[in-house]
Amino acid sequence: MNADIHALTGAYALNAIPEFERAEFERHLVECESCAQEVRELRATATRLGEAASEAPPPELKARVLARIAEVRQLPPVDDLSARRERRSGVPLATKLFGAAAAVLMVVSVSLGVLLVRNGNELDQSRDQAAAMSNLLSAGDAKVVSGTAAGGLSGTVLLSRDRGQVMLLAGNVPAAPDGKIYQVWLMGEGAPKSIGLMAPNASGQASLLNTGGIGGAQNIGVTVEPSGGSATPSPDVVMQMELPV
């Protein structure tokens, strides 16, 4: 281990550290409260994102997996020589593969909860969403916040003010009333700014990515508007969350 040990928090939270590094890093966690706190936060964030985007797998998935077990070859063991070379290199394998620890953690969490249980167009959409999340979370100033509205609607917001990007992942979203649609707004600096319309899928999940700038916005809100959207938000607010600075 060397100075890069502090960069292993994300890999450790993802259980991506080789055994020969895990014990030493766990000793480091006992002495380094900042790393221990970061590990706790990464695990909690992964859980929130998984809950926001996950859904129950279809009943036939178990049968398909069991059928494939007999057909898929087991991977060969890890080459000990490669592992020894990696240890001598002075740069942990986990550090190389986990340069953007938070981004990979989020994408894996969502992939396990969503990508494996969808197909067709929904699978393509989920892959695009995961790629957008990975790109956004690779920003140096990326932030993640989560919350739940009074009606049970849940939301997770990812943003980078440096890049001017914000992404909303919503769960437990009921279908909008007939002739209505959900509209997402940035608020807090001047007039509210619409960043797009949002419609939930059959599982009550919806997402929206805005790359047109955040400015000094302090909140993100979701309102119910007439089909096609409105120029200004209605009082029918179903969710509002404070954006981190």
Q: What pLDDT is attached to residue 228?
A: 92
- Band of residue 41 on the pLDDT scale cut at 50, 70, 90: confident
User: 62 with 153, same domain?
Assistant: no
| Boundary of a domain, candidates 108, 128, 159 | 108
For the chain, the domain total comes to 2
Mean pLDDT of 53-67: 67
Domain with 70, as residue range(s), is 3-108
* pLDDT tens digits, 77-109: 545 444 444 444 444 444 434 444 444 445 444
Q: Is residue 231 part of a domain?
A: yes
User: 148 with 92, same domain?
Assistant: no
Specify the pairing of strand 206-210 against strand 165-171: antiparallel
Q: Is residue 113 part of a domain?
A: no
User: 237 with 169, same domain?
Assistant: yes
Query: The domain that contains 213 carries what CATH number?
Result: 2.60.40
Share of the chain above pLDDT 70, in %: 67
User: With 90 as the cut, is the pLDDT of residue 133 above it?
Assistant: no
Q: Is residue 127 part of a domain?
A: no
Q: Is residue 135 part of a domain?
A: no
User: 35 with 100, same domain?
Assistant: yes
Count of other CB atoms within 10 angstroms of residue 225 = 21
User: What is the rounded average pLDDT for all residues in the chain?
Assistant: 76
Q: Is residue 126 part of a domain?
A: no
Residue 93's contacts (CB-CB under 8 Å, 6 or more residues apart) are 18, 86
User: 85 with 179, same domain?
Assistant: no
User: 87 with 184, same domain?
Assistant: no
Token readout for 198 is: 């949002």
Instruction: Determine the Cα–Cα distance for residues 73 and 75; give it in Å rounded to an integer.
Output: 6
Query: The domain that contains 79 carries what CATH number?
Result: 1.10.10.1320
Q: Is residue 122 part of a domain?
A: no
User: 91 with 146, same domain?
Assistant: no
User: 98 with 161, same domain?
Assistant: no
User: 87 with 167, same domain?
Assistant: no
Handedness of CA 159, 165, 171, 176 (dihedral sign): positive
User: 157 with 92, same domain?
Assistant: no
Token readout for 194 is: 């619409």
Q: Is residue 167 part of a domain?
A: yes
Q: What pLDDT is attached to residue 204?
A: 87
Question: Nearest CA to 14 among 83, 108, 96, 87?
Answer: 108
User: 83 with 161, same domain?
Assistant: no
Instruction: Determine the Cα–Cα distance for residues 243 and 115; give it in Å rounded to an integer.
Output: 28
Q: Is residue 114 part of a domain?
A: no
Instruction: Determine the Cα–Cα distance for residues 162 and 214; give it in Å rounded to an integer.
Output: 9
**Of 81 and 155, which is predicted with more confidence?**
155
